[in-house]
Amino acid sequence: MQKRAYFKANWLAYLFIAPQLLIIFVFFYWPASQAMYWAFTLEQPFGGGNQWVGLDNFRAVFSDETYWASIWRSIVFAALSTGLAMSMALVLALFADRQLRGYRFFRVGMIWPYAIAAPAAALAFRFLFNPQSGVFAYLNTLSPGLWNPALSGVDAMTAIIITQAWKQVSYSFIFFLAGLQSIPRSLIEAGSMDGARVMRRMLDLQLPLLAPTIFFLLVINMTDSFTDSFGIVDILTEGGPARATELMVYKIYVDGFQGLDYSGAAAQSLVLMALVILMTFFQFRFIERRVHYT
């Protein structure tokens, strides 16, 4: 039997967490409950009145093929951008951990991109991706018209995935580096004494020991790419061309704010919320089992 320490005076504990709870209530539960109400009604933009329509908004959303397309698109976006960001971050962290030349600078420098807001990053990438004058325009010297995110949906999707991945690298990098550095040196040294070379040590020692960090970053990155990709899409592609980059979160904005269809957007945001919750649940249920802590 494990003995747990606890406070008798519960009110003190509640007092301490009250400010945090208040913030969560005001900025999450309250708007979410409002959205829940709107999702079952038809809401006039200026608030002139609304009427109960039951599940009609959800029916409209799910019978809309462009909505299903946006779900698949979001999943592809989340999987690819997360995969790209985490693998880049892992490689960089392994390098920094091996104390290659200049690692002191990179250890700090790699964190800077995280401080850049999504729209600012997207604006920078807009120049890089420009098919006529950007860095990517070199692709067009190989074969004219090879790269054109304004016309090709695949190119546009590639562009937002790269940008999202770039933005996420720093965050994953910090955690990977911290994870790597918390692996006892003695383990690595024991490995090398047994004749394991760098690659072998990475694959058989460091990666398995990093599993909890990898799992944590997987959840965070996936969630983030579902909910936080708005700025990138808005600045880089505005969801185009021909909806090729209209992710779920961007569609909510387009329908709700540009189209003034508040109820449809509210229904969509509930679906998005449910999807993220479901995804996180599955990740904990099925992937976490394979993770060994300590």
Count the Cβ atoms, other than its own, within 10 Å of residue 293: 7
Backbone angles phi, psi at 133, to 5 degrees: -130, -5
**Least distance between another protein and beta carbon 269 (Å):** 16
The interface with another protein within residues 2-41 (CB under 8 A) comprises none
- By CB under 8 A, tell whether 42 contacts another protein: yes
Q: Which is nearer to another protein, 87 or 258 (CB)?
A: 258
Written as one letter, the residue type at 237 is: T
Stretch that binds another protein, among 1-9, 100-108, 114-122, 251-259 (CB under 8 A): 251-259
> What distance in Å separates the CA atoms of residue 264 and residue 284, rounded to the nearest whole number?
30
| Bond before 131 cis per omega within 30 degrees | no
Residue pair 214/86 in contact by the 8 Å Cβ criterion: yes
Q: Considering only residues 40, 43, 171, 221, which one is a binding residue for another protein as defined by CB under 8 A?
A: 43
**Least distance between another protein and beta carbon 25 (Å):** 18
Torsion of CA 46, 47, 49, 51, to 10 degrees: 100
- By CB under 8 A, tell whether 263 contacts another protein: yes
- 3-state SS record for 89-114: HHHHHHHHHCCCCCHHHHHHHCCHHH
Q: Considering only residues 4, 12, 47, 144, which one is a binding residue for another protein as defined by CB under 8 A?
A: 47
The interface with another protein within residues 127-156 (CB under 8 A) comprises 130-133, 148-153
Count the Cβ atoms, other than its own, within 10 Å of residue 183: 14
The token pair that represents 116 in the structure block: 């850049």
Q: Considering only residues 99, 259, 282, 284, which one is a binding residue for another protein as defined by CB under 8 A?
A: 259
Q: Which is nearer to another protein, 113 or 153 (CB)?
A: 153
- By CB under 8 A, tell whether 242 contacts another protein: yes
- By CB under 8 A, tell whether 44 contacts another protein: yes
- By CB under 8 A, tell whether 243 contacts another protein: yes
> What distance in Å separates the CA atoms of residue 35 and residue 190, rounded to the nearest whole number?
56
What x/- string results for residues 149 through 188 when contact with another protein is judged by CB under 8 A?
Answer: xxxxx-----------------------------------
In 3D space, the residue among 222, 221, 190 whose CA is nearest the CA of residue 206 turns out to be 190
Applying CB under 8 A, what is the total number of residues that bind another protein? 35
Written as one letter, the residue type at 47 is: G
The interface with another protein within residues 52-91 (CB under 8 A) comprises 53, 60, 66
Backbone angles phi, psi at 51, to 5 degrees: -135, 150
Angle between helices 65-97 and 207-227 (to 10 degrees): 140
Q: Considering only residues 4, 5, 48, 290, which one is a binding residue for another protein as defined by CB under 8 A?
A: 48
Q: Which is nearer to another protein, 43 or 97 (CB)?
A: 43
Q: Which is nearer to another protein, 177 or 271 (CB)?
A: 271
Q: Considering only residues 25, 127, 257, 281, which one is a binding residue for another protein as defined by CB under 8 A?
A: 257
> What distance in Å separates the CA atoms of residue 254 and residue 257, rounded to the nearest whole number?
6
C-alpha pair distances (Å), 292 with each of 86, 167, 176, 209: 19, 29, 16, 8
Interface residues toward another protein, by CB under 8 A: 42-48, 51, 53, 60, 66, 130-133, 148-153, 239-243, 254-255, 257-261, 263-264
